[in-house]
């Protein structure tokens, strides 16, 4: 993989523009609507890790579904341009490619926290000897609530059952060596490793393949929350032998607020119809679904975890968005991403100040798009300053500004202009 040496970067607008000029993905910016600032110019949108921008093609597919409903009513299930009865299948190939899975291993359904629970219903099967779930410090709150409630649901106390991996004293993120050591020492008591692929707060990427390998040797199940991983990292979930994964589609997958989420179940589990699960009619044998029989017979593969019929209006944008991912592929996106974020890192480090510190790992294999910038004394006025100047990013309590240049629609010029404003904010 290409990573540009930092010494070849230059801290000038001309240089940023020259990087844009030689960027073969530069025209994809035109495929998205960029929110405007108060002067009617493109804002500097660095919040694709929270809500991805709208692909221009979404309008037309949404109108297609509305028109089919208007004109066909219930018959749209079969006669719509994209028949609703099998709508999830429109998403399968694209999702499989984005996460590095076989088509039978993925399904679009529900929303993320719901899928997390459904997966834990199957893969968190605690016993007296082995009942712990491991998450990382500063995991997204929803994940922590979900995990704790699962532990309690099975009659265990989260005080004993929930293990939170923490960075060493003085470190901003968790060292892989410490995770390895933990697995070696405590793996036998762990039922489930439920880490994020990318931590939402620090931006740290975990070595999923390595963790799965070590933890599975100890008999643990290994699932990942890929809310910040999907559409950001070049994932290989099948080859990495991950047991299961879940994600949402409104962050890097650009599918709009509350969009349908996704799920990966490795085929060695998906092909086991006896695996315990919470069932619903949409997971039932497709040929016999409408015979309305009382006996549940799961579809083999991830589709067998579906409960309800497909939410068409929250799935249509994903159909459109995945076409762009199909066109470009994660490898190219990832290459641009590491250069874009590398440039951001370089420019921030050029600011002579001790008011800020990047807490995201420096090694490109340990981060995706996002950099998390810790502000000294939790001084939020810096964030307020750049926001007033047309930067859209976010502040995460207690003291972090998160910025995520997205390879599909952010430019090197965006990155340059952002750091220029950050510098002004620091010096004012």
Ligand X SMILES: *Cc1c(COP(=O)(O)O)cnc(C)c1O
Give the footprint of ligand X on this chain (CB under 6 A).
Answer: 111-113, 140, 142-143, 196, 200, 225, 227-228, 248
**Closest to ligand X by CB, 214 or 230:** 230
**317 or 425: CB nearest ligand X:** 317
Q: Which is nearer to ligand X, 236 or 396 (CB)?
A: 396
Considering the complex, what minimum distance in angstroms separates the CB of residue 51 from ligand X?
Answer: 9
Query: Would you state the torsion angle of the CA atoms of residues 379, 382, 385, 389, taken in this order, to the nearest 10 degrees?
Result: -150
> Among residues 114 and 275, whose Cβ is nearest to ligand X?
114
Smallest distance, ligand X to C-beta of residue 145, A: 10
Q: Kindly tell me which of 247 and 416 has the beta carbon lying closer to ligand X.
A: 247
CA dist., res. 427 & res. 424, Å (int): 5
Minimum Å gap between C-beta 392 and ligand X is: 17
Identity of the residue, 245 or 248, whose beta carbon is nearer to ligand X in the bound complex = 248
- DSSP state for residue 193 in the 8-state scheme: E
The residue ranges of DSSP E strands in 121-183, in sequence order, are 132-136, 162-165
CA distance 328 to 332: 7
Rank residues 124 and 140 by Cβ distance to ligand X and give the closer one: 140
Q: Residues 6 or more apart from 60 whose CB is under 8 A from it?
A: 320
| Least Å from the CB of residue 248 to ligand X | 4
Which residues, including other chains, have CB under 8 Å from residue 412's CB and lie 6 or more apart?
Answer: 16, 17, 19, 20, 23, 340, 343
Q: Would you put residue 261 in left (φ > 0), alpha (ψ -120 to 50) or beta?
A: beta
Helix residue spans in 187-311 (DSSP H): 208-217, 267-270
Extract long-range pairs of 87-94: CB within 8 Å, 24+ residues apart.
87/310, 87/312, 87/315, 88/303, 88/306, 88/310, 88/315, 90/315, 90/319, 91/260, 91/262, 91/315, 91/318, 91/319, 91/322, 93/326, 94/319, 94/322, 94/323, 94/325, 94/326
Nearest distance from C-beta of residue 115 to ligand X, angstroms:
8
Closest distance of CB 227 from ligand X, Å = 3
Instruction: Quote the least distance from Cβ 205 to ligand X, whole Å.
Output: 13
């Amino acid at each position: 993989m290409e990573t540009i040496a930092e010494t070849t970067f230059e801290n000038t607008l001309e240089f940023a523009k020259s990087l844009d000029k030689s960027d073969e993905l530069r025209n994809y910016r035109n495929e998205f609507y960029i929110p405007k600032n108060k002067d009617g110019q493109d804002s500097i949108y660095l919040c694709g890790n929270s809500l991805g921008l709208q692909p221009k093609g979404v309008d037309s597919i949404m109108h297609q579904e509305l028109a089919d409903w208007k004109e066909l009513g219930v018959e749209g299930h079969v006669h719509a341009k994209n028949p609703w009865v099998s709508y999830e299948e429109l998403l399968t190939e694209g999702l499989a490619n984005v996460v590095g899975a076989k088509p039978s291993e993925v399904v679009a359904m529900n929303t993320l926290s719901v899928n997390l629970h459904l997966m834990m219903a199957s893969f968190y099967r605690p016993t007296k000897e082995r009942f712990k779930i491991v998450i990382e410090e500063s995991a997204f709150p929803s994940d922590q609530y979900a995990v704790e409630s699962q532990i309690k649901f099975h009659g265990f106390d989260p005080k004993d059952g929930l293990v939170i991996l923490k960075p060493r004293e003085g470190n901003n993120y968790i060292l892989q060596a410490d995770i390895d050591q933990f697995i070696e020492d405590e793996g036998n008591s762990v039922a489930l490793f439920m880490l994020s692929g990318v931590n939402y707060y620090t931006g740290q990427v975990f070595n999923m393949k390595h963790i799965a390998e070590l933890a599975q040797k100890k008999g643990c199940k290994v699932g990942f929350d890929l809310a910040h991983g999907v559409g950001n990292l070049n994932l290989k979930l099948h080859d990495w032998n991950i047991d299961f994964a879940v994600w949402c589609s409104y962050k890097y997958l650009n599918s709009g607020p509350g969009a349908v989420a996704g799920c990966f179940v490795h085929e060695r589990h998906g092909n086991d119809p006896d695996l315990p699960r919470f069932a619903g009619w949409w997971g039932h044998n497709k040929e016999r679904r409408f015979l309305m029989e009382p006996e549940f017979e799961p579809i083999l593969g991830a589709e067998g975890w579906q409960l309800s019929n497909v939410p068409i209006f929250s799935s249509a944008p994903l159909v459109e968005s995945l076409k762009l991912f199909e066109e470009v592929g994660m490898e190219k996106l990832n290459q641009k991403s590491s250069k874009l974020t590398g440039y951001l890192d370089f420019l921030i480090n050029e600011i002579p100040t001790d008011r800020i510190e990047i807490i995201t790992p420096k090694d490109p294999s340990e981060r995706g798009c996002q950099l998390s910038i810790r502000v000294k004394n939790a001084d939020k006025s810096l964030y307020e300053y750049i926001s007033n100047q047309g930067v859209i990013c976010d502040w995460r309590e207690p003291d972090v500004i998160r910025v995520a240049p997205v390879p599909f629609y952010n430019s090197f010029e965006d990155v340059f202009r952002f750091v220029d404003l950050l510098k002004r904010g620091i010096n004012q």
